């Protein structure tokens, strides 16, 4: 448990806040004293986040948002900013993962991944900019992935979406530098989440569903080198939430236009 209180004066909007890393980030920033709006397409996921917030739930508000739908994003961001009374940190954690042999990938599945991951990040960020401009220490943390820079088999659509997010983050960091809005990415890898575990009922927390005949020898290069306490393959979501909390806080005042890998040394 963190004893830091870096968010005591910060208002935070976190998409994908109903499960996995997004939910862990909500709980981390509440723990650090923040006022948080959790957004997710899943009402039951948001209810679970509220339940886990415990006695900190008085600083938590929720909003149902489909990040791939422009009207939903407009309403959701507006409602979140009103509930928070402004906005200092935006975390774009919502995302989906579809896995398949490239030759078998449908256009619909490829487009859906881009719609939720890349376009969703664009839409939420665009709608949040007016509120972020009113902050004296604004920060945006986007979710790229180790798949944006390193080969992950059967995940071409996901890799394309995350590469796009990473490139867009660099462009925005420069465009808004004079307004002192910082933009950074995290690159999770080997992390347990709603996507890797296949939990969650929504189209924004869908499991990887690897092909039945997947060649698992291809995954040898994406295993963590750091040992995990339970001996499993994936670290807990709070490993990423801690890094997001740093990047979204005033502590990272001189960090922008970069990405931080959180992968247990997989890609040294």
User: Does the pTM of the predicted model rise above 0.95?
Assistant: no
> What are the catalytic residues?
158
The secondary structure element, H or E, covering residue 29 is: helix 20-31
> Domain 11-261 falls in which CATH fold?
Rossmann fold (3.40.50)
- Report CA-CA distances (Å) from 180 to 29, 134, 189, 257: 21, 11, 29, 12
Q: Give the number of C-alpha atoms closer than 13 A to the C-alpha of residue 138, restricted to the C-beta side.
A: 23
Domain positions in the chain are 11-261
Dihedral through CA 78, CA 70, CA 249, CA 150, nearest 10?
Answer: 170
Give the number of other Cβ atoms within 10 Å of residue 56's Cβ. Answer: 17
Q: What angle do CA 255, 261, 265 make, to 5 degrees?
A: 135
Give the number of other Cβ atoms within 10 Å of residue 226's Cβ. Answer: 11
Question: What is the rounded average pLDDT of the residues 128-142?
Answer: 98
How would residue 42 be classed by pLDDT, with cut points 50, 70 and 90? very high
User: pLDDT tens-digit profile of 156-175?
Assistant: 999 999 999 999 999 999 99
Task: Tell me how far the alpha carbon of residue 22 is from its chain's centroid.
Answer: 6
* Residue 18 to residue 44: CA distance in whole angstroms: 8
**Confidence at residue 108, expressed as pLDDT on a 0 to 100 scale:** 96
Question: What is the rounded average pLDDT of the residues 205-221?
Answer: 72
Helices (H) and strands (E) in the chain, counts: 8, 7
């Amino acid at each position: 448990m963190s004893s830091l209180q870096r968010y005591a004066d910060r208002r935070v909007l976190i998409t994908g806040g109903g499960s996995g890393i997004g939910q862990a980030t909500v709980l981390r920033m509440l723990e650090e004293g923040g006022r948080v709006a959790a957004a997710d397409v899943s009402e039951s996921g948001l209810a679970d986040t509220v339940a886990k917030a415990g006695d900190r739930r008085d600083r938590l508000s929720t909003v149902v948002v489909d990040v791939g739908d422009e009207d939903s994003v407009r309403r959701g961001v507006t409602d979140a900013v009103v509930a928070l009374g402004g906005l200092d940190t935006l975390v774009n954690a919502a995302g989906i993962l579809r896995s398949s042999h490239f030759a078998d990938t449908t256009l619909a599945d490829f487009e859906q991944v881009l719609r939720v991951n890349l376009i969703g990040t664009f839409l939420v960020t665009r709608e949040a900019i007016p509120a972020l401009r009113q902050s004296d220490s604004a920060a945006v943390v986007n979710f790229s992935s180790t798949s944006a820079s390193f080969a992950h088999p059967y995940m071409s659509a996901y890799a394309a979406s995350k590469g796009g997010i990473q490139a867009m983050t660099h462009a925005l960091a420069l465009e808004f530098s004079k307004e002192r809005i910082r933009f950074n990415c995290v690159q999770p890898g080997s992390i347990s989440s709603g996507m890797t575990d296949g939990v969650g009922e929504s189209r924004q927390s869908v499991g990887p569903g690897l092909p039945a005949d997947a060649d698992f020898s291809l995954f040898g290069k994406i295993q963590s080198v750091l040992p995990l306490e339970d001996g499993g393959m994936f670290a807990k979501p709070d490993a990423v939430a801690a890094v997001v909390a740093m990047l979204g806080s005033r502590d990272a005042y001189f960090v922008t236009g970069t990405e931080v890998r959180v992968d247990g040394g997989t890609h040294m």
